[in-house]
Homo-oligomer: A and B are copies of this chain.
Amino acid sequence: MDTVATISPELRMTGNRQIVLEVLRGTTAHPTAHQLFLLAREQQPQLGFATVYRTLDLLVKHHLAQEVFRDKDGAAHYDANVTRHDHAICDRCGRIEDVSAPLHALAYAIVERSSGFHIQWHASAFSGLCADCAADAE
């Protein structure tokens, strides 16, 4: 099941952009722009970080990636999975897990009913202890 379009008609897929997109698709770690820069630079040593930021903007505009949340430092985290989903962040090990439950659909209904908002976008991040760390902490 491929939920993500491989190419976008309007976006010229240069070598740099291809590498950034491949690196993002090759991880489930929800990297920041800077983390992506470090990974992509392994394959393209003269890559500049401004290119990564510009590429991420383009990928988001063309729905090939999404910014999923901002961490406590204010750094944006990206995901090549462009379906709407939420995230759970472990305060202990730093793991970031997708929340696959259709929370957003429920949330939209509740928010729209209670406030009258017509929701177009949302970001939810939950933090605490992941199952493994909670077990360790006992």
Query: Please, which residues of chain B bring their CB within 8 A of the CB of A107?
Result: 86, 103, 107, 124, 126
Copies of this chain in its oligomeric complex: 2
A91 in contact (CB, < 8 A): yes
Question: Which residues of A88-135 are within 8 A (CB) of B?
Answer: 88, 90-91, 97, 99-101, 103, 106-108, 110-111, 113-131, 134
List residues of chain A with CB under 8 Å of any chain B CB.
Answer: 69-70, 74, 76, 86, 88, 90-91, 97, 99-101, 103, 106-108, 110-111, 113-131, 134
Nearest-CB residue, chain B, relative to A124: B124
Nearest-CB residue, chain B, relative to A73: B74
Enumerate the 9 nearest inter-chain pairs by beta-carbon distance, A residue then B residue, closest first. Answer: A116-B131, A124-B124, A74-B74, A120-B128, A119-B128, A101-B114, A122-B126, A88-B117, A118-B129
- Known interface pairs A70-B74, A74-B74, A122-B124; A90-B110 also in contact (CB < 8 Å): no
Give the complex CA separation of A111 and B116 in angstroms: 25
